[in-house]
Amino acid sequence: MLRDRWGRPLGDQDWFVQHGSDVETRWEADVPRLTPTDRFYVRNHTTAPEIDGRTWRLLVSGDGLVGERVYSLEDLRSFTSHTYERAVECTGNGRSLFEEQQGAARPGTQWGLGAIGVARWTGVRLRTLLQHAGLRADAVQVMPVGLDDSYVDDGVDYGRVRRPLPIAKALDDVLVAWEMNGEPLPRDHGYPARLIVPGWVGIASIKWLGELRVTTSVVDSPWNTRWYRMHGSGWDGADSELGRMPVKSVVDVVDEPSVGRISVLRGRAWAGEASVRMVEISTDGGETWDEASLTGPNEPSAWVEWEHPWIPDRPGAHVLVTRATDSLGRRQPGRAPDNDDGYLFWAVVHRPVMVSGSRTHARV
């Protein structure tokens, strides 16, 4: 039986927050650095399809190639494989905080901060596959297409989930993955193969991959024009495009704080394609700051853990705030840029705690 950090038994209801058919990982369940597959958040636009991996085929097509190629799962496995520990994060992660901290409720799934996970993904580099298929020098983008059912909204059929990827990113660090944490991908996470687009919005990591359309011109889809794009006052043109994820941080748990005794604050920080340079912690609502100690691996497109000792000087309510700065110099702001859909909440997060002799933790 799995237990939390205090020895209490954990069931599925303790691991997840339910959002209809989607589920969010509970941080207070003491999620390890690598998220176990059965505790990884799930966000699907339609029902996860049942696909026979033995007959599944990946079509690589388009005028950005010298020809058309079809690959089986065994074909993919015949290439040199690579394994990376990388995060996948929903674009709307933290959406509920637009209302809780900024007083501006936004529609959509009311994620806390648990619509993210870091797993060990194994697959072939997309670059390798495209080059093998005969990539042309004038190709400008790749349109990955999923095999889930067409997405229908208000009676309009928008087709299968798909979203364009610039060729520069496609040739950089993207994986066509068939394993998650050393096992075949589960159905909810894209079996038999999916994209992993490190450091980018989660929608870019298309699941149940069925086709890669390589083109010499820019082709859009509803998933980069109608959805997963910044809308609202002040957003226009290139500024509204969603690609790279921002820098974020959070308090995981607080070890039973009581007056005059050391309590160790712990958490994690992440920064899209960048690594984390520094995490600061405030125990007085952001009035004063101390630098926390980073612990463990600190790689781009994953997260780094941090810790900081704290001796509370008084009982009662305290507000913990974390602020991360990444290797690109980006630092979390006091307020997240507002937008109509509640995307990319990356402001500092306020966590109220009560100092006493009782067991407590910060809610995420």
Whether 5 has a pLDDT exceeding 50, the answer reads no
Whether 359 has a pLDDT exceeding 90, the answer reads no
Whether 4 has a pLDDT exceeding 70, the answer reads no
Whether 3 has a pLDDT exceeding 50, the answer reads no
Fold exhibited by the domain 244-355: Immunoglobulin-like (2.60.40)
Whether 7 has a pLDDT exceeding 70, the answer reads no
Averaged pLDDT, 152-164? 97
Which pLDDT score is estimated for 14? 77
Averaged pLDDT, 319-335? 97
> Is the backbone peptide bond immediately before 144 cis, with ω within 30 degrees of 0?
no
Residue that is written with structure tokens 């998933």 in the block: 223
* Rounded Cα gap, residues 25 and 113, in angstroms: 8
Residue that is written with structure tokens 């859009």 in the block: 220
Give SS3 for 32.
coil
Q: How long, in residues, is the chain?
A: 364
Please name the residues in contact with 330: beta carbons below 8 A apart, sequence gap of 6 or more.
246, 247, 271, 274
Which pLDDT score is estimated for 140? 98
Which pLDDT score is estimated for 285? 93
Averaged pLDDT, 10-29? 81
Of 59, 60, 55, the C-alpha closest to 73 is 55
Which pLDDT score is estimated for 357? 66
**What is the DSSP code (8-state) at residue 358?**
S
**What is the DSSP code (8-state) at residue 54?**
T
Task: Return phi, psi of residue 170, to 5°.
Answer: -60, -35
Q: Which helix (H) or strand (E) holds 85?
A: strand 82-89
- Dump pLDDT digits (tens) for 174-209: 999 999 999 999 999 999 999 999 999 999 999 999
Averaged pLDDT, 14-23? 91
Which pLDDT score is estimated for 356? 84
* Rounded Cα gap, residues 19 and 7, in angstroms: 27
Rg (C-alpha) for the chain, rounded Å, is 21
- Dump pLDDT digits (tens) for 20-64: 999 999 977 677 899 999 999 999 999 999 999 999 999 999 999
Averaged pLDDT, 210-234? 97
Whether 119 has a pLDDT exceeding 90, the answer reads yes
Please name the residues in contact with 163: beta carbons below 8 A apart, sequence gap of 6 or more.
143, 144, 203, 204, 206, 221, 223, 224, 228
Averaged pLDDT, 99-106? 97
- Dump pLDDT digits (tens) for 260-286: 999 999 999 999 999 999 999 999 999
Q: What is the pTM of this model?
A: 0.92
Whether 13 has a pLDDT exceeding 80, the answer reads no
* Rounded Cα gap, residues 26 and 354, in angstroms: 20
* Beta-strand pair 248-254/69-72: unpaired
Which pLDDT score is estimated for 363? 42
Work out the percent of the chain whose per-residue pLDDT is above 90.
Answer: 88
Buried b (16+ CB within 10 A) or exposed e, 315-347: eeebebbbbbbbebebebeeebbbbebbbbbbb
Of the candidate ranges 30-34, 90-94, 308-312, 319-323, the one whose mean pLDDT is the lowest: 30-34
Can 42-96+116-228 and 244-355 be said to share one CATH topology?
no
Which pLDDT score is estimated for 295? 96
Domain residue spans of the chain: 42-96+116-228, 244-355
Supply the CATH classification number for the domain 42-96+116-228: 3.90.420.10
Of the candidate ranges 31-35, 111-115, 127-131, 167-171, the one whose mean pLDDT is the lowest: 31-35
State whether the Cα torsion 235-236-239-242 is positive or negative.
positive
* Residue 127: band (very low, low, confident or very high) from pLDDT cuts 50, 70, 90: very high
Give SS3 for 56.
coil
Task: Mark out the alpha helices in the chain (DSSP H runs).
Answer: 12-15, 73-77, 96-102, 126-133, 167-170, 222-225
* Rounded Cα gap, residues 242 and 123, in angstroms: 25
Please name the residues in contact with 55: beta carbons below 8 A apart, sequence gap of 6 or more.
none
* Residue 15: band (very low, low, confident or very high) from pLDDT cuts 50, 70, 90: confident
Whether 133 has a pLDDT exceeding 70, the answer reads yes
Of 206, 170, 193, the C-alpha closest to 88 is 206
